[in-house]
Structure 1
Amino acid sequence: MEKEIVLYRTFDSSVEANIVKDVLETNGVPCFLSNEIFSSVLPLTNSEVGAIRLNVFADDVAKADTILSNTTTLSEEKE
């Protein structure tokens, strides 16, 4: 049986997307980015079309939420 892949989060920054991806993978949550190349070729600020997408398995969403709730990301540091 195939696992369902869901869109977990979107990013405007490739750097932040890769940091969050690395944090999840380091903590055992398989994930991947999509739309990364398109967003660098044609950057569309604040647009779902141009956003970098972080995808995870539906079964891992709760685990990802827990991991990221205990992690400071770049956008949170700016606030």
Structure 2
Amino acid sequence: MEKEVHPVEVFAGTSAQATIVKSILESAGIYCFLKDDIMGTLFPWYTSAGGAGAVKVFVSDADFEEAKAIVEEYEKNIQ
């Protein structure tokens, strides 16, 4: 029996930010995927950090705590 995977949003931002976060998470061995990244490509002015049109990064609920810590460190370093 396979274990169910429940995706959880761990980050929302611009297309560029979401791509960077995805790369950082994958480097840490955490599988993740982007949602709404096509909107960020087609209409970059529509995507705003945390806004309605933001590009979102999702991880498995099992990896959420580790991923959230990594994202928080990333956010702390970009300010």
Q: TM-score if structure 2 supplies the norm length?
A: 0.74
Please state if 1:66 is matched with 2:69.
yes
Separation (CA, whole Å) in 2 of partners of 1:4 and 1:55: 10
Separation (CA, whole Å) in 1 of partners of 2:8 and 2:65: 12
User: SS where residue 64 of structure 2 aligns?
Assistant: helix
Structure 1 residues 2 and 14: CA distance shift in structure 2, 3 A:
same
Structure 1 residues 62 and 2: CA distance shift in structure 2, 3 A:
same
**Which residue number in structure 2 is paired with residue 29 of structure 1?**
30
Aligned length: 74
Identity among equivalent positions (%) equals: 28
Separation (CA, whole Å) in 1 of partners of 2:68 and 2:5: 18
Unaligned ranges ≥5, structure 2: none
Unaligned ranges ≥5, structure 1: none
Tell me the CA shift for residue 9 of structure 1.
1.4
Of 3, 9, 12, which aligns to 1:10?
Answer: 12
Q: TM-score if structure 1 supplies the norm length?
A: 0.74
Tell me the CA shift for residue 2 of structure 1.
1.7
**Which residue number in structure 2 is paired with residue 41 of structure 1?**
42
